Amino acid sequence: MVTSIQISEGLQKELTKRKFFEKETYEEVIWDLVEDSQELSEETKEEIALARAEIKEGKFHTLAEVKKELNL
């Protein structure tokens, strides 16, 4: 079901500033804002903790290293 809502000019200007590209809809902008405010899942939190631990242990490659290995 599609519906319309009323917003103030100030909010419209703020939403316009948050667009990543000109043709992005206000709905897409609002969904991005909603996603940003949602809590991370436990699985995601665990994956982030694991990634941080790997970085501390030096288990990563820099962009320069990858470029050199790929002859880029």
CA distance 33 to 35: 5
Please give the DSSP secondary-structure letter assigned to residue 20: S
Every domain of the chain and the residues it spans: 9-38, 41-72
pLDDT tens figures, 6-55? 999 999 999 999 999 999 999 999 999 998 888 889 999 999 999 999 99
Write phi, then psi, for 12 (nearest 5 degrees). Answer: -60, -40
- Is residue 1 over pLDDT 90? no
- List of residues 6+ apart from 12 with CB closer than 8 A: 26
